[in-house]
Chains A and B, each alone.
Chain A
């Protein structure tokens, strides 16, 4: 007696054979899926970083500008001990911290209003308003601040009647401009974090006699802290690496990015630039190491 099949046997084809093979070999499946993105990550990210690390141990022939590929620690020693690099590193960290503090102070109330107070419709409108500046070019915004902060700019015109003056170009101008540029990046994660705080917790706190401030301090803040830290990672790391804004509105001030830029662009000293570039990498790694314990990285 012959068994009758309800479904005819599938025709054999290369695609089917391959599919059958992959179905039986999960590791091969995984390898095929991940090799392209991992190759990309490896080549673009890891190799570039390793190359940077290696370059820091080379030197440059001062006259011809050719790179001499002999191992030397001179650049690292120079960067660690040189007073110029210490000053600029401290200045850069100071600017990054100031920008971060200002941004968090501005973002917290805005994000809280968006997440907990505004109606659903208002929420969408506010979200669009926060995101809109991101559509304009970074350079346009920095140059806009250059004319705002100028001696005959709009800020001077606004505050002059009250005896005030524009800060002019310098570190304050840099901090103002960077705070403006990175604000959306701080608002968004805090907003997302606050939205996840259940309203019932706030009501429960109220029912149990918690006043506004104690509710904020004891219920909202601990729950939102990882989100706030996620926001600070953006503003801190973006400020740390910036050199264009400080070039446009920073007057004579230099930040670490400028030193890297002049060593690559003007002085043609790639090894020293690589050594300087290691400073922000070390700082950011230290910062990430600290915040990893708070669970903030889950919010990114």
Chain B
């Protein structure tokens, strides 16, 4: 009896080992990937009747959030491409969702676009096929975050800055510095918020750039180990006063509305929603340090099931009218001068002002080779930032 049981147990273990070996073998043959042999399309065919879009909240509005905000329906009527949209809260989420291959188009910020290209998740885009590409600002074209080795991987959408949001009942004067959420965050203990993503480390680095010049930070996305450690220390101090981190923008809207949060990093679109609901908040771009920001690119998945509708969307969203509507709703500068004819607040966003645009530190993926030009040290890459971020949250 005993022996039989042992024999049976042996068989079970053997089976388990065999299945592990089999799975490993399967995985090994299926792994790899990387480089991208995709060629850009040379001509367009019939539209497929639908397109699936992965976008930042506020980029693909079909009137379901606000009946007066709708630029998807005209697109569907013009092209016959039915739009299904999904929003994401952080670039990492977008990257992960794109790997599923379920989406044809994505609006990628600079901290995702290069990783998407390197992972072979997006295909080159033939800009000759897009009627509206010519009108786009030259300083947005052929940039490090949308072009690799001279190959275009997408169409610029718009750009803007991460803003400081504050409750006007609690903070009556317009702040000029981010110190409200860093050195002075103790004044609002438990009611400070911050963006829940490793890329937020750059905000701390930007603050240190002005306030601790000894560290020698030249670019908030190029941090050596010592500089990263300083930023992590600052963020750990900040954490003690954080009420909650946000990545879901609706959660941030709610906590500012109830007063659970009174100060923290935010986007213009959040302010727009709060204003619509009578919230007592305002946003500002603190002049002392400047701000981090984003410059977004519409990209097409390398596994796109509806490439023609995807091209149609890229062309449509770059058209002055649609681009004006989308960027105006989100609260960012549009991608062309022509778009400014459809909106009145272009000056507030310094649209087309290449000098201003160069002052915003656009999100970009930190890599080992320091992007500020240093060659004597190795910089910390995004994996290190991710780990640091988890440590900060503790």
Spell out A's residues near B (CB within 8 Å): 47, 50-51, 53-54, 58, 61-69, 71, 84, 87-88, 146-147, 150-153, 168-169, 250-252, 254, 259, 262, 264-269
Taking the closest CB of chain A, its distance from the CB of B367, in whole angstroms, is 7
Q: A63 and B118 in contact (CB under 8 A), knowing A68-B31, A254-B393, A265-B96?
A: yes
- Say whether B245 contacts A252, CB under 8 Å: yes
Which residue of B32, B381, B386 contacts A267 across the interface (Cβ within 8 Å)?
B386
- Say whether A63 contacts B390, CB under 8 Å: no
Q: How far is the CA of A268 from the CA of B90 in the complex (A)?
A: 12
Give 6 nearest A-B pairs by CB, closest first: A62-B383, A266-B92, A64-B119, A69-B31, A69-B27, A267-B386
Q: How far is the CA of A150 from the CA of B244 in the complex (A)?
A: 12
A267-B390, A269-B383 given; name 12 further pairs at CB < 8 Å. A54-B27, A62-B383, A63-B382, A64-B115, A65-B115, A65-B119, A69-B31, A151-B259, A168-B243, A262-B390, A267-B92, A267-B386
Q: How far is the CA of A191 from the CA of B190 in the complex (A)?
A: 41
Q: How far is the CA of A120 from the CA of B156 in the complex (A)?
A: 70
Which residue of A53, A62, A152, A262 contacts B20 across the interface (Cβ within 8 Å)?
A53
B19 within 8 A of A: yes
- Say whether A66 contacts B259, CB under 8 Å: no
CB-defined contacts of A151 to chain B, threshold 8 Å? 258-260
Nearest residue, chain B, Cβ from A169: B244
Nearest residue, chain A, Cβ from B35: A64
CB-defined contacts of B197 to chain A, threshold 8 Å? 266
Taking the closest CB of chain B, its distance from the CB of A23, in whole angstroms, is 28
CB-defined contacts of A251 to chain B, threshold 8 Å? 242-244
CB-defined contacts of A64 to chain B, threshold 8 Å? 33-34, 115, 118-120
Chain B, interface residues (CB within 8 Å), range: 35 or more
B99 within 8 A of A: yes
Q: How far is the CA of A253 from the CA of B367 in the complex (A)?
A: 29
Q: A54 and B393 in contact (CB under 8 A), knowing A251-B244, A252-B245, A266-B93?
A: no
Taking the closest CB of chain B, its distance from the CB of A177, in whole angstroms, is 14
Residues 165-210 of B at the A interface (beta carbon under 8 Å): 190, 197-198
- Say whether B260 contacts A66, CB under 8 Å: no
- Interface residues of A: mostly helix, strand, loop or mixed? loop
Q: How far is the CA of A129 from the CA of B336 in the complex (A)?
A: 61
Which residue of A50, A53, A66, A69 contacts B119 across the interface (Cβ within 8 Å)?
A66
Spell out B's residues near A (CB within 8 Å): 16, 19-20, 23-24, 27-28, 31-34, 90, 92-93, 95-96, 99, 115, 118-120, 190, 197-198, 239, 242-245, 254, 258-260, 365, 367, 381-383, 386, 390-391, 393-394
Q: A66 and B115 in contact (CB under 8 A), knowing A251-B243, A254-B393?
A: no
Q: How far is the CA of A62 from the CA of B317 in the complex (A)?
A: 32
- Say whether A152 contacts B258, CB under 8 Å: yes
CB-defined contacts of A71 to chain B, threshold 8 Å? 24
Q: How far is the CA of A5 from the CA of B117 in the complex (A)?
A: 83
CB-defined contacts of B198 to chain A, threshold 8 Å? 266-267
CB-defined contacts of B33 to chain A, threshold 8 Å? 64, 66
CB-defined contacts of B120 to chain A, threshold 8 Å? 64
- Say whether B381 contacts A62, CB under 8 Å: yes
CB-defined contacts of B243 to chain A, threshold 8 Å? 168-169, 251-252
CB-defined contacts of A68 to chain B, threshold 8 Å? 31
CB-defined contacts of B31 to chain A, threshold 8 Å? 66-69
- Say whether A152 contacts B259, CB under 8 Å: yes
* Residue among A69, A71, A152 with most chain B CB within 10 A: A69
Taking the closest CB of chain A, its distance from the CB of B5, in whole angstroms, is 18
Which residue of B27, B190, B390 contacts A84 across the interface (Cβ within 8 Å)?
B390
Of the A-B pairs whose beta carbons lie under 8 Å apart in the complex, a sample of 16, sorted by A's number, is: A47-B19, A50-B23, A53-B20, A54-B23, A54-B24, A63-B382, A68-B31, A69-B24, A151-B259, A169-B260, A250-B244, A251-B242, A252-B239, A254-B394, A267-B198, A269-B386
* Residue among A84, A151, A168 with most chain B CB within 10 A: A151
- Say whether B34 contacts A66, CB under 8 Å: yes
Nearest residue, chain B, Cβ from A258: B393
Q: How far is the CA of A69 from the CA of B31 in the complex (A)?
A: 7
Nearest residue, chain A, Cβ from B260: A151
Q: How far is the CA of A254 from the CA of B28 in the complex (A)?
A: 33
Q: How far is the CA of A281 from the CA of B387 in the complex (A)?
A: 23
Q: How far is the CA of A88 from the CA of B244 in the complex (A)?
A: 17
- Say whether B28 contacts A69, CB under 8 Å: yes
CB-defined contacts of A265 to chain B, threshold 8 Å? 92-93, 96
Nearest residue, chain B, Cβ from A57: B24
Q: How far is the CA of A268 from the CA of B93 in the complex (A)?
A: 8
Q: How far is the CA of A152 from the CA of B254 in the complex (A)?
A: 12
* Residue among A53, A84, A269 with most chain B CB within 10 A: A84
Q: How far is the CA of A87 from the CA of B394 in the complex (A)?
A: 7
- Say whether B258 contacts A84, CB under 8 Å: no
Nearest residue, chain B, Cβ from A91: B394
